[in-house]
Amino acid sequence: MRTAIGVDLGGSHVTAAVVTDDGTIHRQHELDLDDLSVKAVTDALVETIGGALKDADGAAIGIGIGSPGNIEVATGTVVYSPNFGWSNIPLGATVAERFKLPVFVGNDARCATLGEYTFGAGQGHKDFVLLTLGTGIGGGIVADGELVLGNRFGAGEFGHHQIRPTDGFVCGCGKIGCFEAQASGTGLIRHAFAVAPSFPRSLLLDVNRDKLGSKKIRKAAQNGDGHALAAWKNYTADLAIGLANVIAAVNPEMIALGGGVSTAGEFMLEAVRARVDALTTMVPKGTTQLTIAKLGNDAGQVGAATMAFRGGLTTRPTDS
């Protein structure tokens, strides 16, 4: 069994572990990131990867890093990352110099798509899309068995296609009504605030804003709370618009939904299926299955290691 180091680099933490080529993650080495400077993040990468490499005992064939931002995959350079405030940082080369191993860097959502395609809900589906509904919306496309990267590695940035440009919420990217602003976990919270005036006696939002997660609203909706259900209805209506647009652009066999909100499972899928069908016009209805992703938070790390096994961010089968 082959072994690689899979690294999940996020805005608040970095996690590295040995991952075997059956998609299994072994012992995690995790550090919180308070300082997002290049030096601090590189130091945290070196420490966590170093720990995982000790576990690998010399067997690791390479290191795969999933990072936020636009990544030049051939060189592992972070072209820009709004989360980190970075531009043109040679992350892959810097890490490779420290460990004398091949290092591959890819966008975190594309890595998650590769992981979910290889070991999760996408297995056996040559036309596949992953959408992760978390703080934002990350995504990736597999078309005819190939991970689509686009001209400059931007394919799959579904989060920033606008679905409500005139009456939507302001997105972190500056536009109005992006899919991410409306249908991420953060979007669900915003929908709950938007309908709050109609529920003056509701206690749903009666907590410190820092402590208010989408989970509370999702669970309250599943328990039949009126305020949460009104937010959920608007939320799933927006989610359906975005899903129908993705179907129009890609017509995959399957779209898997991941991220915190997707733990609502069938409760969410039921709410969107009929709307997605209604909004699917020129593409034959029902030709794209909607499902829940299987790997959860592990998808990015498994996908990063898979990238190392494959010698790059590709779904092409390798000969080994």
Task: Provide the binding-site residues for Zn ion, judged by CB under 5 A.
Answer: 160, 171, 173, 175, 178
Angle between helices 91-99 and 38-56 (to 10 degrees): 40
Cα 4 to Cα 303: distance, rounded to the nearest angstrom: 11
CB of 109 to Zn ion, least distance (A): 14
Q: How far is the CB of 181 from Zn ion (least distance, A)?
A: 6
Instruction: Give Cβ neighbours of residue 87 (< 8 Å, ≥ 6 apart).
Output: 78, 79, 80, 81
Which C-beta is closer to Zn ion: that of 132 or that of 288? 132
To the nearest whole angstrom, how small is the minimum distance from the Cβ of residue 183 to Zn ion? 11
Q: Which is nearer to Zn ion, 135 or 288 (CB)?
A: 135
Nearer to Zn ion, 130 or 178 (CB): 178
Residue 244's H or E segment, with its range, is: helix 226-250
Q: Are residues 307 and 23 in contact, defined by beta-carbon separation less than 8 angstroms?
A: no
Question: Residue 312 carries which side chain, given as an amino acid letter?
Answer: G
Smallest gap from Cβ 39 to Zn ion, in A, equals: 29
Q: Which is nearer to Zn ion, 77 or 132 (by Cβ)?
A: 132
Ramachandran angles phi, psi of 161, nearest 5°: -90, 140
Find tokens 């029902």 and name the residue. Answer: 286
Contact 192, 203 (CB under 8 A): no
Task: Rank residues 95 and 243 by Cβ distance to Zn ion and give the closer one.
Answer: 243
φ and ψ at residue 47, rounded to 5 degrees: -70, -45
Minimum separation from the CB atom of position 135 to Zn ion (A): 13
3-state secondary structure of 170: strand
Of the pair 175, 219, the CB lying nearest Zn ion is at 175
**Minimum distance, C-beta of residue 160 to Zn ion, in the bound complex (Å):** 4
CA-to-CA distance for 167 and 144, rounded, in angstroms? 36
Looking at the Cβ atoms of 160 and 273, the one nearer to Zn ion is 160
Angle between the N-to-C axes of helices 299-310 and 108-119, in degrees from 0 to 180, rounded to the nearest 10: 80
Phi, psi of 255 (to 5 degrees): -115, 125
| Min CB(139)–Zn ion separation in Å | 13
Q: Rounded to an integer, what distance in angstroms lies between the CA atom of residue 279 and that of residue 242?
A: 10
